[in-house]
Structure 1
Amino acid sequence: MKVSNADRVMFPEVGVTKGQVVSYYENAAGLMADFVVGRPLTLQRFPKGIAEKGFMQKNVAEHYPASIERYEVPKNEGGTTTYPVVRDVNDIAYLANQGTITFHVWLSTVEQPLKPDYLVLDLDPPEGSAEIVRAVALETRTVLDSFGVESIPVATGSKGFHVWIPLAGKPDFEQVSKASQALAGIVALKIPDLATLEFLKKERKGRVFVDWLRNHPGSTVAAPFSLRPRPRASLAMPITWDELGSTAPDAWTIGNVEDRLSDLPRWPKPVVLPIDHIVKTAEAAGV
């Protein structure tokens, strides 16, 4: 596609231009389809590059092409938000040409907005705590394995890791939210010196926040393969559990990702989440 201001530097520290950003998204669009297509999007845009202030865009711009659907959602305080919804993966590059750096996505589709097809636990550490967040990620895997739930870690391109679980059986958000809170609570109970459910940073005391709050209607998470507004042009990358110990959360960048895109880990098959078993186990443990 024709890129406007292709030479504009979007990531000054590494000299990555807008043309390179759009080219990356053209190459990655097919891989992003399962996480982006058919879902309401919140676009994190930096039209002048990350050295300038960016913004989060929920409402679709009037000039966006008709191929980008409009999805209207009532707001609690009145009025509506009209989200952009991509159907054609080519529109991912179009949105990158509009200055989008990160695609934040719902965990459900517009066809079934109250039935998520993913559960995500966001492991949010203090800056510079890679070893701690790895330990929490491994404990999260151990807890999930104990319930027969296969998962995959994603290096977020920022400070931490996301743990993704594809869901079968069409549970609703109320059920998935209960299960995610219970799972996070079990992890924090097992390793209380490393993990916490404390939302306020001042109460975390150097521990990793096991954030289960993504699992609510309308909440978003950075899509796998999305760039992040970080100095090195890092991005969210699925990894294997075996790679976790040697992979920094921001290991993958626009500069080193090309070969990786053709050699990706296997994504787990969707699983019917044993919600009652998880919740009852957490309750019995005192979570």
Structure 2
Amino acid sequence: MLNVCITGINGFIGRYILKELYRCNDINIIGIGRKCNYEGEEDIQYIQADIGSSGFVDSVSNQLDCIDVIIHLAAHISFDNDEELIRTNIAGTLHICELANKMNVEQLVYMSSIPVIGMPLVLPITEEHPTNPMTLYHSSKLAGENIVNNCCNADMVKTIVRISSPIGGGMCTNTILSVFAKRSKMNEDITVLGMGTREQNYIDVRDISKGILQILKEKPQGIYNLCSHSSISNIELAELCIKQAESSSRIVCQGNDSQDEVKWRISIDKAKKTFGFYPVYEISETLKWILEEE
């Protein structure tokens, strides 16, 4: 039996990874979250704890017998200069590494983000692309990568996963895809900044979950991109939302987008070759799922 501890278990990605792993008879799941109560339906051990607090390691280790793997998803998401980013994403990640060392964990999987690279300079974007994050949030995620690599026991398998924009049922409602989907369903105008040529990469949260399961099986060391096969421009995304919703919405291009020509075209070759990662959900399928939940 593999004992897997997931931080951020109540979050969007955490809920779907839990569902994927829970189907496996040989995996026992322990969830850690800041909320008082566990919000899922699966029968797991839940520990309410704040990873950024100074007493986190002692408190949590006293409630655990054995952990083989930690999947570290918990993070504070903000694009303001927010001290909570430092406390949770940097100090909290250090505490997770300390917990992993104390519990002699075999593997730590850390969820990072593709935009730690800053602006794409070379396409396609590989794991070797230079890093130059443009926000404090992405700086904190890159710092987390360095903490995992520098602070975990030398013999621990350290797997860093850089994801593109995660999408699926229950996703955050203020993202561009969610806003486009809602407006198309209500037959309202869809506003696209600039010419709408900026290309984004979206990955279905179910593909992320399947990728994490493969990582637990193969135990790869290093940094891996987990993204979809292709990117889509903002104007194409608006058109797809209208088509999928059979909507009468109009697309209105407005203002300027400083990143109009930016293309987030990302290579997943390394993940394919190393642990057999292969995303199966096209964005049209995911969008249909999202529209059904609107």
TM-score w.r.t. structure 1 length? Answer: 0.28
